[in-house]
Amino acid sequence: MTIQENVPLAPRTTLQVGGPARYFAELKREDEVRQAAQFAKARNLPLFVLGEGSNLVIADSGWPGLVLRIAIGGITASGSTNNPSTSYRRDKETAGNAVLFSVGAGVNWDDFVAQTVVQNCAGVECLSGIPGSVGGTPVQNVGAYGQQVADTIESVRALDLKADRIVVLPKPACGFRYRSSIFNTTERGRYIILRVNYRLKRGGAPNLKYADLQEYFAERFPDSHTPPSLAETREAVREIRRSKGMLIVPGTDGCPDKDGRDEDCRNEDCRSAGSFFKNPVLSEEQFKELTALAASKSLDIPSYPAFDAQRKISAAWLVEQSGFYKGYAAGAVGISHKHALALVNRGNAKATDVVDLKDEIQRGVQEAWGILLE
């Protein structure tokens, strides 16, 4: 294990803002993670776990303690369509064709999704193109286009800093909800994720519930009666993300176009952390009040069913209907030209600039709609 000092962190994030880490270590083995945690504890250093920095704003002052870049690799698959002796949990839907993938926390998420599609395993195909590492996915229960990782996670292997031992947390213990888990709420800072186990379905059909996907295939294959494959669904998701400036392509300064020459691509649109705000989830009464307010403005607010008979509201719609349009600029920061929820670094921005714009949008939405965006 090598501990480095005063390591710049901005280049390790997609927003490209922030100061350095006082101490930094890139760790490829579980025993190294434990050693690094003990190093920080012995020196009373605050600890921060870094994946690929795609959902992160680093403070301009940097991090005063130790940053751990988790780089544990490896993807293994167990179970097969013909093996009755597999030991993991089965149910009627997946019995006989479930495959359990054990994936290192440092594996690039989209690389893992690509491998599952190649192996014809359904369950995460709609999460294609999301930047970041596997270890980050359980933290906020990553989701998009009709899927979330909680649907497939079997268990999470982690270092419990409180007990100083490695534990395996089954799915129920992770407390998954919309964009949350125990890892970013009740037990925030307690666990360092080392590996994640996903249970997928070999030969399963792709998830095509999301409207954007249905429109994509209806426009391109209007006369087709053959359902799209997992590979076609993956490519569709990546294409939709590319059109919204939400696909990072290595070697092109984050430009959504593969050759970096797309006239619609502005590099600043790619210096973001993806969707900055959550879609609000409202009770039935709150939704009725918001619908009435929208109607008074001759507007129809987009909404979707959520858990416990609640409604999920489009945060992007709220942002745009509060005066913050795509391409909105505020000095060195702004909003993506392609997606209203992406706050972007227009060039040489500081973390304080990003936070100031975040605050401005939150105030505007709350004043216009009575909702505080998270």
pLDDT at 250: 57
pLDDT at 355: 98
* Distance (Å, whole) CA 26 – CA 105: 12
* Distance (Å, whole) CA 204 – CA 227: 12
* Distance (Å, whole) CA 79 – CA 258: 36
* Distance (Å, whole) CA 25 – CA 69: 6
- The two structure tokens encoding residue 101: 């993938």
In one-letter notation, the amino acid at residue 56 is L
pLDDT at 249: 67
The residue whose two tokens read 């909003």 is: 335
pLDDT at 260: 37
* Distance (Å, whole) CA 203 – CA 322: 45
Q: What is the enclosing helix (H) or strand (E) of 308? A: none
pLDDT at 96: 55
Q: Beta partners for 201?
A: 98, 122
pLDDT at 91: 41
**CA 11 vs CA 20, 87, 241, 278, 358: distances in Å:** 10, 43, 23, 25, 21
Q: Which of 213, 193, 205 is nearest to 144 (CA)?
A: 213
* Distance (Å, whole) CA 67 – CA 289: 44
In one-letter notation, the amino acid at residue 241 is R
> What sign does the dihedral 362-328-345-341 (CA atoms) show?
positive
pTM exceeding the 0.75 threshold for the entire prediction: yes
Yes or no: say if 139 and 184 are a contact pair by the CB < 8 Å rule: yes
The residue whose two tokens read 């209907």 is: 321
Residue spans of the chain under pLDDT 50: 81-95, 252-265
pLDDT at 15: 95
pLDDT at 110: 97
